[in-house]
Chain A
């Protein structure tokens, strides 16, 4: 195992961790930042996987713009998840 792959493993680890945080944080603004972080780390991985085009697009569109759109939506709705919403449930019914 050389050191390049160490970096890969570390980035994959951080990426999965930020995904978990993005899903679990009750502050939606923080969750969106977590989501953007996932996109950024993914775009780093795309770069390592020899896909510079995709890396650029993911950073510009996946991380920056979709994060911005999310933040506008939060601005027009509300920022925190309520206590009630913490309970799990499957809401799609027939």
Chain B
């Protein structure tokens, strides 16, 4: 059996739940909720990779030297990733609104059938 930390476990669980929603659900908004959860999971994974036991946040005010801080790079990456995630979500939701206006449903199979 493999041993991983609880944070990794939580992150991977979120990724899997999100993936499940994307693959199995047919309601568009539900799929987008799943995508959002997946992104949160990935962000959590990145941040927990950067964590170092017993060190504090990378803000080097008094009392915190360069040796007492956690890795700042994953945090910078996640800042970017969060913003990109919300951008994708907004785009996807506006496409979903157009689809609802055209077809009157959010069920993706139904939309496919109506489109022929």
Chain B interface: which size bin? 35 or more
What 1/0 mask marks residues of chain B from 78 to 112 whose CB sits below 8 Å from any chain A CB? 11001101100110011011001000001111101
Chain B interface SS verdict (over half): helix
Selected from A53, A54, A69, A84, the residue in CB contact (under 8 A) with B107 is A84
How many residues of chain A get a CB closer than 8 Å to chain B's CBs?
Answer: 49
What 1/0 mask marks residues of chain A from 62 to 87 whose CB sits below 8 Å from any chain B CB? 10011001101110111001101101
Inter-chain CB contacts under 8 Å: number: 160
Question: Within 8 Å CB of B55, what residues of A?
Answer: 50
What 1/0 mask marks residues of chain B from 43 to 58 whose CB sits below 8 Å from any chain A CB? 1100110110001111
Question: Within 8 Å CB of B56, what residues of A?
Answer: 50
Where the two chains meet, the residues of B that have a C-beta atom closer than 8 Å to any C-beta of A are 6-7, 9-10, 13-14, 17-18, 20-21, 23-27, 29-30, 32-34, 36-37, 40, 43-44, 47-48, 50-51, 55-59, 69-70, 75, 78-79, 82-83, 85-86, 89-90, 93-94, 96-97, 100, 106-110, 112
